[in-house]
Amino acid sequence: MSATTRFLPLAVLLLFVGAVAWRLAVPRDDRVASKLEGQPVPLFALPAALPAKPGLASSDLARGQPRLVNIFASWCVPCIAEAPMLIELKRQGVPIDAIAIRDRPEAIAAFLTAHGDPFDRIGADRDSRVQIALGSSGVPETFVVDGAGIIRAQHIGPITVADVALLRRAWEAAR
Amino acid sequence: MIAEAGLAALWLGAALAALQLGLALGLGGAGDRQLGAVRAVAVGQGALSLIAFAALVALFVRTDLSVLLVAENSHADKPWLYKFAGTWGNHEGSMLLWVTVLALAGAVVALFERRLEERTLGMSLAAQAALSLGFFAFLLAASNPFERFDPAPLAGRGLNPLLQDPGLAFHPPTLYLGYVGLSVAFSLAVGALVTREVGPALARAMRPWVLAAWILLTLGITAGSYWAYYELGWGGWWFWDPVENASLMPWLAATALLHSLNVLASRGGLRAWTMMLALIAFSMSMAGTFLVRSGILTSVHAFAVDPARGTFILVLLTLYIGAALTLFALRIATVREGAPFEIVSREGALVANNLLLSVILGIVFFGTLYPLIAEAVTGEKLSVGPPYFDAVASPLALGLGALMLIGPQLRWRRDSLPIFPRLAPGLVVALAVLVATILLAPTIGLLPRLGLAIGAGLVPASLMPLIGRSLRRTPLATWGMCVAHLGLAVAILGMASDSAFTREKLASAVPGERLEVGPWLVEFRSVVPLAGPNWTALEAELRASRGGGATVLKPQSRFFTEPPTTTNEAAIETDWNGQLYAVLGAQDAETGRWLVRLWWKPFVTLIWLGGMLIALGGTLALIGRAWRARATRRRFEEAEW
């Protein structure tokens, strides 16, 4: 048996240990990065969802300042759960716009009265067209858009307490 | 009190393992007396670990919720059997079971092994002590099963409902006994490499352990496969899940080892190769357990994910496997090779068998690790699943089957007699079935078709070694080989038939509707709610008939409250020629229709029947060998007298 074959099993062991040690050192990240990250926001212009607030267009998202865009609906229960987190982000100085999905003005108004209103602008997306163009598959979702209108992050599902810091960091990184 | 006693036994066991290691290493070339001391310490270590394990079982059966492990994994309302099985349905308990089996195996070797040269035995007991010492340290430092919990909760958290199944009570311990049984082969190989005493005597000492471990692995894998088949409700019997692979790899290595041990025991050949396999088999067991226990690979079996524990076991297994393989690399060149043989001979066929098994092992090993390596190197996330494993492993497995048509008919050393008459029955049947499937079932795939042909040919071929002998005087070990090979033939037939002829029906139905699958007509009659000891369920009533007579299937969708989970309890109707498999899915809220899934699987039961036959063959061989060893010893003692 030649020297190389004699040591081959050891080499395989080292490969195994290397791969596994790497996994122990770098914890698994099951998050699949959104394909939209780095892409510009698709062109859209949504009418105002409430008479008192302006609507939302893609041009509003490219004015030099990074913003969050929250996709929500008054009929969405997880949106209630994340409402306090959005209020907290707003309190920390993060500007937030929103797109209301398949909703009615009076229902939106009632939702915002009950759970707080952190939004600067709210666009009404009555047939989910803009939601689909944005690559969002459900409510709630939150996008981080930088000052040039480029999507920097996509958060799927309700914002939890732990996500607040993550979103804030993503927003700061977009500046 | 019980918990503290268990913990004390664990500490004492660890101390004895350290003592055994020191004594056995210090033994050098010394005499009988010191080896006697090592034997006694090994037995003490085994007894203490058994006491610790019994203490944990007692805590689980009494549901002592002041113990953290019990509170987290058991529940006062759980049926008795699952309280008992809950002992090893968690990380700490299963590691304790692992150490217990390891220490007990060492004790049995110390008590009963008399044939081996003393220095080799001493070194093997040192290796076994080193193994158990590491795992004792792991338990005591990072996975104490006896930790108290204050204040004690009222009910406990419960056991994963998927695991609340009679199969679970026996599946993990069976596999563990198999995994750890291979540790003896590992230790004996290490001992023999240290003393350079690799030869037939070592092979004969190793063989019963490998055989026993292999039987248990076969049973454990067969049971696990059947459990996944009926409990998960996916209608499949093998998923190439990392944990399934973790049990398959030691089995493949043990199968190869079992065959090469025969060459070493009866012909003195294949020394280096056999030692390599002995080290690999247990290494695969350790790596498999590690992958399962650390949560490194995503799997349905993933339990607690804890990097600290993962690091501990990784360091342990790197030390053990690394040291053993280094010893192998340094020593193997100085081990004498055995008798030469020609290619067309029993040895030649066994070498081919070993190569094919090792290639399959390598394929499964790299397929299982590939996602990890790929992500480490390129950062890309991917998974390797059935398309890869099926495509690469099945042709090789069929090659192995084809080899089995020939190998067992060959003689040792060289075969010069006309061999065709011995090969004819298997080859003729295989060809006939191949032609028949082409004519009768032209649409089935190539692999299932070859599987049917080879499986059918193997039925007569595996029985050929019995032909022309006096059946009563044929050694039991030969019977064992024939039965095990027949079992593999039966299993291959089942797998091929399942993949060639299965019919599936997925329907969204309302009660009163009729569904057709294969030859069956199934009437969906009703869905009724039902309550069990710790679950509630919706149960469908399906009336299935083909031709005359009807049978009722009642698949359930079960809801467990502790922890809240839903499981699908498939209903299976077993007939002589296959199984009708029914699963009740969710109800569509808008239309009120139920998702019903039906499969007709011709001859699928042959897969597990084959597995049982393989294990039975192993058992016959084990009994036969033990019998013969005893007879030889008695003759030897009488002659001495």
Distance CA B318, CA B322 (A): 5
Q: Please determine, for residue A97, whether its predicted confidence score (pLDDT) is greater than 60.
A: yes
Beta B556-560 vs B565-569: how paired, if at all? antiparallel
Distance of CA B178 to the CA centre of its chain: 6
Contacts A–B by Cβ distance under 8 A: 57
Distance CA B186, CA A119 (A): 67
Tokens read off for B254: 């043990």
Cis peptide before B563 (omega within 30 of 0): yes
List of residues 6+ apart from B635 with CB closer than 8 A: none
Q: What is the mean pLDDT of chain B?
A: 86
B-chain CB neighbours of A10 within 8 Å are: 322, 325-326, 329
How much is the average pLDDT of B259-285?
Answer: 90
Nearest by CB: A1 against B296, B310, B332: B332
% of chain B residues with pLDDT over 90: 42
Cβ density class B3-38: b for 16+ within 10 Å, e for less: beebbebbebbbbbbbbbbebbbebeeeeeebbeeb
pTM of the model: 0.83
CB-based contact (8 Å) between B321 and chain A? Answer: yes
How much is the average pLDDT of B21-48?
Answer: 81
Nearest by CB: B369 against A16, A26, A28: A16
A-chain CB neighbours of B283 within 8 Å are: 13
Q: Given CA atoms B466, B469, B471, B476 in this order, what sign does their dihedral have? A: negative
Do residues A79 and A102 touch, judged by C-beta distance below 8 A?
no
A-chain CB neighbours of B332 within 8 Å are: 1, 6
Do residues B615 and B534 touch, judged by C-beta distance below 8 A?
no
Nearest by CB: A24 against B307, B329, B332: B307
Q: Please determine, for residue B164, whether its predicted confidence score (pLDDT) is greater than 70.
A: no
Instruction: Name the 3-class secondary structure at A59.
Output: helix
Closest of B281, B314, B280 to residue B295, by C-alpha = B314
List of residues 6+ apart from B366 with CB closer than 8 A: none
Count CA atoms closer than 13 A to B488's CA, side-chain side.
Answer: 22
B-chain CB neighbours of A24 within 8 Å are: 294, 296, 307, 310-311, 314
Q: Please determine, for residue B563, whether its predicted confidence score (pLDDT) is greater than 70.
A: no
For residue B437, what pLDDT is reported? 92
How much is the average pLDDT of B266-291?
Answer: 88
List of residues 6+ apart from B299 with CB closer than 8 A: B241, B242, B243, B292
Do residues A89 and A68 touch, judged by C-beta distance below 8 A?
yes
For residue B186, give how far its alpha carbon lies from the nearest alpha carbon of chain A (Å).
Answer: 15
> What's the angle, vertex CA B96, arms to CA B90 and CA B101, rounded to 5?
125
Higher pLDDT, B423 or B303: B423
Nearest by CB: B296 against A1, A7, A20: A20
B-chain CB neighbours of A19 within 8 Å are: 369, 372-373, 376
Q: What is the mean pLDDT of chain A?
A: 87
> What's the angle, vertex CA B16, arms to CA B11 and CA B21, rounded to 5?
130
Q: Please determine, for residue B531, whether its predicted confidence score (pLDDT) is greater than 80.
A: yes
CATH architecture of residue range(s) A33-173: 3-Layer(aba) Sandwich (3.40)
Distance of CA B527 to the CA centre of its chain: 38
For residue A5, give how far its alpha carbon lies from the nearest alpha carbon of chain B (Å).
Answer: 9
Do residue A19 and residue B326 have CB atoms under 8 angstroms apart?
no
> What's the angle, vertex CA B415, arms to CA B411 and CA B421, rounded to 5?
85
> What's the angle, vertex CA B80, arms to CA B78 and CA B82, rounded to 5?
65
pLDDT tens, B47-95? Answer: 999 999 999 999 988 888 888 888 877 777 777 888 888 888 778 888 8
For residue B493, what pLDDT is reported? 95
Phi and psi based region of residue B631 (left: phi greater than 0; alpha: psi -120 to 50; beta: remaining): alpha
Q: Please determine, for residue B29, whether its predicted confidence score (pLDDT) is greater than 60.
A: no
Q: Where are the beta strands (DSSP E) in A73-132?
A: 96-101, 119-125
Higher pLDDT, B234 or A64: A64
pLDDT tens, B565-584? Answer: 778 888 888 888 899 999 98
For residue B162, what pLDDT is reported? 61
How long, in residues, is chain B? 641
List of residues 6+ apart from A57 with CB closer than 8 A: A44, A45, A46, A123
Phi and psi based region of residue B145 (left: phi greater than 0; alpha: psi -120 to 50; beta: remaining): alpha
CB-based contact (8 Å) between B333 and chain A? Answer: yes
Distance CA A101, CA A145 (A): 19
Q: Which among B375, B378, B380, B384 is the top mutation candidate for probing chain A, defined by the most A β-carbons within 10 Å of its own β-carbon?
A: B375
Do residue B314 and residue A20 have CB atoms under 8 angstroms apart?
yes
Higher pLDDT, A114 or A33: A114
CB-based contact (8 Å) between B383 and chain A? Answer: no
For residue B591, what pLDDT is reported? 83
- For B77, which DSSP code? T
Interface predicted TM-score (ipTM): 0.78
For residue B278, what pLDDT is reported? 95
Q: What is the rounded radius of gyration, in angstroms, for the C-alpha atoms of chain A? A: 22
Determine how many CB atoms are found less than 10 A away from the CB of residue A164.
Answer: 18
